[in-house]
Amino acid sequence: MKPIISASELVSESAGPRPPVLLDVRWSLGGPPGRPEYEAGHLPGAVYVDLDAELAGPPGAGGRHPLPDVAAFGAAMRRAGVSAGTPVVVYDGGLGWGAARAWWLLRWTGHPDVRVLDGGLAAWPGELSKDVPAPAPGDFEPRPGALPLLDADAAASLARSGLLLDARAAERYRGDVEPIDRVGGHIPGAVSAPTTENVAGDGRFRPAEELAARFAGLGAGTAGEIGVYCGSGVSGAHEVLALELAGFRAALYAGSWSEWSADPARPVATGPDPQ
């Protein structure tokens, strides 16, 4: 199943016999909370999911957005009406990062039918709603392990033995600037692959063949296993989704640079060269 859905397809499915559960995951790095935007207008029937509180654990040794406690994540999804046998569509304000984080977590914990609304809220052609729904509780029970996951040591190893992609902006990869974490640069051996290059100007994903060519040019398909990291495991999930669209399976290093760079003992590379 394709991991994205167009707005027109969502309109059709929402009116069909198995309408999907809709999750609004509006979030921006360093930006205001998404709930006020949700309350000002959202897709009819959509439930707000707080990325910082429900799709991540408390910041700490595991980075700025460590994986959430599995039981707490399952409870949050059931409160939102998520069931194992019901399709789920997630969306955000347009970048796709927050939606991709929810997509990855649900897929990683075993939900078989999760898609991201391509283009986010801006692609929706219908009216928005201010009504806050109270869905019947779902029955989803998370079972982690359905998607590959890396820790710091595995990411370091993959950078040497396969292909490790850095989904952050190129200037952060090079270490020219680092506005958030302790130090700038990248994991030695990682290849720069900004996730912003996976989408067109309207926020929709580029065609699968374009994405396949992009990732092949970076070494996918010839380098063995593929891994992805970013700043804190959010935009990296978006790159994992883009890779799946392109036909490649990739593991996510969830702790990402925020975890890696917090440990002074871990090596840091700077400049445009992977090493």
More confident site: 202 or 29:
202
The pLDDT value given to residue 62: 87
Distance, CA of 115 to CA of 216 (rounded, Å): 24
Per-residue confidence band for 213, with pLDDT thresholds at 50, 70 and 90? very high
Higher pLDDT: 266 or 27? It is: 266
* Domain 4-123: top CATH class: alpha beta
Q: What is the mean pLDDT of the chain?
A: 95
At residue 34, the pLDDT reads 85
Give the pLDDT score at 118.
97
Mean pLDDT, rounded, for 8-24: 96
CA separation for the pair 109, 203 (Å, rounded): 27
The yes-or-no answer to whether 4-123 and 149-260 have a common fold is yes
- 87 pLDDT exceeds 80? yes
Residue 230 known to be catalytic: yes
Q: Does 61 have pLDDT greater than 90?
A: no
Per-residue pLDDT of 232-248, as tens digits, reads 999 999 999 999 999 99
Is residue 221's pLDDT more than 90?
A: no
Average pLDDT over residues 98-103: 97
pLDDT, tens digit (0-9, with 9 covering 90-100), for 249-265 = 999 999 999 999 999 99
pLDDT greater than 90 at residue 17: yes
The domain over range 149-260 is classified in CATH as 3.40.140.10: no
What number is the average pLDDT over the span 212-239? 95
Catalytic residue chosen out of the listed positions 23, 89, 116, 230? 230
| pLDDT above 90 for 95 | no
* Measured distance CA(195)–CA(187) in Å, rounded: 17
pLDDT in tens, 121-161: 999 999 999 999 999 999 999 999 999 999 999 999 999 99
Helix/strand/coil (H/E/C) assignment for every residue in the chain: CCCEECHHHHHHHHCCCCCCEEEECCCCCCCCCCHHHHHHCECCCCEECCHHHHCCCCCECCECCCCCCHHHHHHHHHHCCCCCCCCEEEECCCCCHHHHHHHHHHHHCCCCCEEEECCHHHHCCCCCECCCCCCCCCCCCCCCCCCCEECHHHHHHHHHHCEEEECCCHHHHHCCCCCCCCCCCECCCCEECCHHHHECCCCCECCHHHHHHHHHHCCCCCCCCEEEECCCCCHHHHHHHHHHHCCCCCEEECCHHHHHCCCCCCCCECCCCCC
Task: Quote the pLDDT of residue 147.
Answer: 98
Q: What share of the chain in percent tops pLDDT 90?
A: 92
pTM over 0.85: yes
Each domain of the chain, given as residue ranges in start order, spans 4-123, 149-260
